[in-house]
Structure 1
Amino acid sequence: MTMKKMLVVVTAVTTSLALAACGAASPGSTDKENPPVSAETAAPNTEGAQAGADDAGITPEPGAKLLIWDGAKERPFEEEIAKQFSAKYNVEVQIEEVGPPDTVNRMSNDGPAGIGADVFVIPHNHLGRAVNAGLVLPNDIFGDVTKKSNTESAVIGATSGDKIYAYPRSAETIAMYYNKKLVPTPPKSFDDVVAFSKTFTDKSKNKYGLIWESGNFYFNYPFFAAGGGYVFGKNGTDPHDIGLNTDGAVAGLKLYASLKNDVLPINAGDINPDIKRSLFTKGDAAMDITGPWEMAAYKEALGDDLGIAPIPQINGKPAITFAGIQEVVVNAYSKYPNAAKLYAKFSTSKEAQLQLYKIIGSVPTNTEAQGDAQIKNDPYVSAFVEQSKNSIPMPSIPEMESVWSPIGAALSDIWNSGKDPKEALDNAVKQIKDANSSSAK
């Protein structure tokens, strides 16, 4: 999540140019196992590359060819979108599997060399680093449409400084999974969680009412935020304004500390994803706070007995979670920026986001897609959509890197040793400020 460093532009040698046959193509772009989606294979329409009313009057450059980077599980989605895009715009599209967490690092070298993808996918918390390195173009043509079409949280995640760069396509946050055999009705508040757990939790039998990673800041941010706590001010962009030890954050952490006795009497270091997964799928944990990455395994284990709901209220306030936004960006070195921007918009439209949902079960950021019947009627994804309405993008500025360790240590001290939340948080905030002050020198 660290960002910054100025980009050194290098001149591509002749061999690099030979690899750039697809504009910003990469080695192997003519591999027979990964053939490009061409105008012929996509059966283009008779309008060819004529711009429609939704294209802001721009058309692809003559002879445009695009290379797209996306993850392996998203490949079927990209292949379908590429086929549709090629049919509409008569532009050849090549897809290469590069996972979103790796794209910015790879683009740092491949972009200046002229062999990077024209369009690639990144987690929102990598955007600041990509912008600072000069790797991505602003979302200038479709920025207003992007802002109007997507949730506020997604737009914040697509923005760096005062400018929108990315095209959001899906959101990821945490919610509460529950076993309907054990919890027919999901709890609305943590008071309800405690009341249920008093009848279910039995450490001697390794049974727990609710389980989650109690030492991991990502999963415990709701306890800070419900009462008004925050990481950094100005939508996570002001590292000098730290709100992790406010009165509201302290109040939330007092509730958090109280949960160890009746809900989850395990030290923080003794809980990890594998342990949680085992307890929940066996019915030894009635509820689990985690993300959509566990959905497939939990559905397989529990079947119709699986339920998902928003995280219960904390001290009478909605539980506010971190959001991760998957977003599409355009390579600043692309030879075909018009075609690339059109693809970025096309692949993040309402229709495209619903297609991505059908293929991998992702949560749309497009507000119309969120209201679509197929999302509303999906009891699992709709729960994540509801929770995402009370989520904020994780800060993407470099100073966020200094937050994890001090706050994680504070959580462990509060949970394991009963340390006073105010004292623990004050100490953690001081460490964060000291670390960021040192790195700024």
Structure 2
Amino acid sequence: MKKSRSLWVTLGMIPVLSLALAACGGNEADSDNGGDGNGEASGETNMEDFEVEAEEGAELTLWSDGDEQLEWAEEMAASFEEEHGITVEVEEVSQEDAPERLATDGPSGQAADVFASTHDRIGRAISAGLVLENFWPEEYEENFLEASIEATSFDGMLYGYPTGIETYALFYNEELVDEEPGSMDEMIDMAADLTDGDQYGFMMEPANFYFNYAFIGGYGGYVFGDDNTNVDDIGLNNEGAVEGVELLTTMRDEVLSGLTAEDITADIKTALFEEGSLGFDIDGPWAVRGYEDAGVDFNVMPLPELSNGEVPTSFSGTRGFYVNSYSEFPDAASLLAQHMSSEESLLAAFETTGQLPPHVDIAESDEIQSDEIASAFLEQAQSAVPMPNVPEMPLVWEPMESAVIDVWNNDTDIQEALDQAVSTIETAIEEQQQ
């Protein structure tokens, strides 16, 4: 197989309809383009005439993840400084921690002007008014993958500047698997034949809703209605959701009989794949480097189609940069976020970190398409569903994972288990909204 560089990534389709220039208070961009100086645009804005200029004397702080991400961020900040003459201090703050720190440090003026976050963690900060809208939504909608635009939008408005997209796919050991399966049923049959003693044909984490949603969604289940924006409509106990969990029980019975949900952890299946004792493994691009370092002869393919002819709808995540609405220099900060998500920066991110670029032209380039592993994840991403970024999403994970564990371990009726999970989610949402 053709080996790729390490893939470290963090992967949607609501059209962004208008250009929003609202910030925390007025700025030069408002007045220069016909605004009223209070963040409200007066009439339509001509994209060709729209130009943002950095505030005089601007100095910026950028929060980025560490390791390779930090190295890339520092290089891009340096190129921004050279181009604009604006000093950028780069600090290591993880994309998981940044939105929470913004909530406390933003209003006090202690937060970064620009920060990295995954799209599913940013919803609360946006709804609290802590994030400035993207100044160039039409340009981003035209040039970026739909999945990344939907993921970094909130209530129909684009806030993020996408820099990376990820989802999971099917790894397979080429020493054990002769050819790629054409369907999920075929994969299960192949895995059953490979399972013998300490060798397993297939493993995935049944208790992890992040992974098993692919089957629930592929058969027609969904988290929230209206493209995961209507929390009053939960589709996790409909007919499709039941069929998706039934597929999990088929995997259990045909390949993983005798193993409880707790027996199949990420560490266990990773160890088995690294030692060559696992045929198929559903995992994400973060697993690539470890498997390469272990010397496994493997490849990656999109998740095989289901019995209904549909491709499993894996969850996707999109990493992006966001602008702090309390920034003293909102125009300069927006220009920095734009720079971090430019074609040049995204190509550098792929070369430095393996992060898959959500930019259409780069994703379709020979450099990406010639990489078997990168192109397989990007192909799966076309069928993926962005994890909901509404504040109610954290209330979904535990009830759904508990439901699947109950079915897997105790053969509880699937409809009954899912009905209980949805009831628990609905109650939690009602309490949160009070």
Give yes or no for TM over 0.5.
yes
CA contact (8 A) 2:191 2:280 kept: no
Partner of residue 279, structure 2: 286
Match for residue 113 of structure 1 among 108, 120, 124: 108
Partner of residue 34, structure 1: none
Kindly state the Cα deviation for residue 359 of structure 1 after the two structures are TM-superposed.
0.8
Q: Secondary structure at the match of 2:172?
A: strand
- The one-letter code of the counterpart of 1:131 is I
Partner of residue 36, structure 2: none
- The one-letter code of the counterpart of 1:244 is L
Q: Does 1:170 align with 2:164?
A: yes
Q: Does 1:102 align with 2:97?
A: yes
Q: Secondary structure at the match of 2:97?
A: helix
**TM-score, scaled relative to structure 2:** 0.86
CA contact (8 A) 2:99 2:121 kept: yes
Q: Secondary structure at the match of 1:210?
A: strand
Matches within 5 A, 1:119-268: 119-139=114-134, 141-202=135-196, 205-265=197-257, 266-268=259-261
Percentage identity across paired residues of the two chains: 37
- Counterpart CA distance in 2 for 1:239 and 1:263 is 36
Q: Does 1:70 align with 2:59?
A: no
Kindly state the Cα deviation for residue 108 of structure 1 after the two structures are TM-superposed.
1.9
Q: Secondary structure at the match of 1:382?
A: helix
Query: Per-residue displacement from partner, 1:100-128 (whole Å, max 9, x unpaired)?
Result: 10011112222222222111111101221
Partner of residue 91, structure 1: 86
Kindly state the Cα deviation for residue 55 of structure 1 after the two structures are TM-superposed.
9.7
Kindly state the Cα deviation for residue 285 of structure 1 after the two structures are TM-superposed.
0.9
Q: Secondary structure at the match of 1:101?
A: coil
- The one-letter code of the counterpart of 2:264 is I
Q: Secondary structure at the match of 1:427?
A: helix
- Counterpart CA distance in 2 for 1:188 and 1:333 is 51
Partner of residue 354, structure 2: 361
CA contact (8 A) 1:226 1:314 kept: yes
Q: 1:216 to 1:307 in 2, by over 3 A?
A: same
Partner of residue 306, structure 2: 314
CA contact (8 A) 1:55 1:342 kept: no
CA contact (8 A) 2:148 2:162 kept: yes
Query: Per-residue displacement from partner, 1:354-387 (whole Å, max 9, x unpaired)?
Result: 1111111111111111101111111111111111
Query: Per-residue displacement from partner, 1:64-97 (whole Å, max 9, x unpaired)?
Result: 2111100112111112211221222121111111
RMSD: 1.6
Kindly state the Cα deviation for residue 54 of structure 1 after the two structures are TM-superposed.
8.7
CA contact (8 A) 2:188 2:255 kept: yes
CA contact (8 A) 1:137 1:330 kept: yes
The answer to which of 57-66 and 376-385 deviates more is 57-66
CA contact (8 A) 1:178 1:288 kept: yes
Higher relative contact order (CA 8 A, sep 6+): 2
Match for residue 378 of structure 1 among 368, 371, 384: 371
CA contact (8 A) 1:137 1:329 kept: yes
Q: Secondary structure at the match of 2:177?
A: coil
Unaligned 5+ runs, structure 1: 1-52
Partner of residue 345, structure 1: 338
- Counterpart CA distance in 1 for 2:376 and 2:102 is 35
Matches within 5 A, 1:4-15: none
- The one-letter code of the counterpart of 1:152 is E
Partner of residue 400, structure 2: 407
- Counterpart CA distance in 2 for 1:299 and 1:325 is 24
- Counterpart CA distance in 1 for 2:61 and 2:288 is 31
- The one-letter code of the counterpart of 1:198 is A
The answer to which of 240-249 and 418-427 deviates more is 418-427
**TM-score, scaled relative to structure 1:** 0.84
Q: Secondary structure at the match of 1:185?
A: coil
CA contact (8 A) 2:52 2:331 kept: yes
Kindly state the Cα deviation for residue 415 of structure 1 after the two structures are TM-superposed.
1.6
- The one-letter code of the counterpart of 1:137 is L
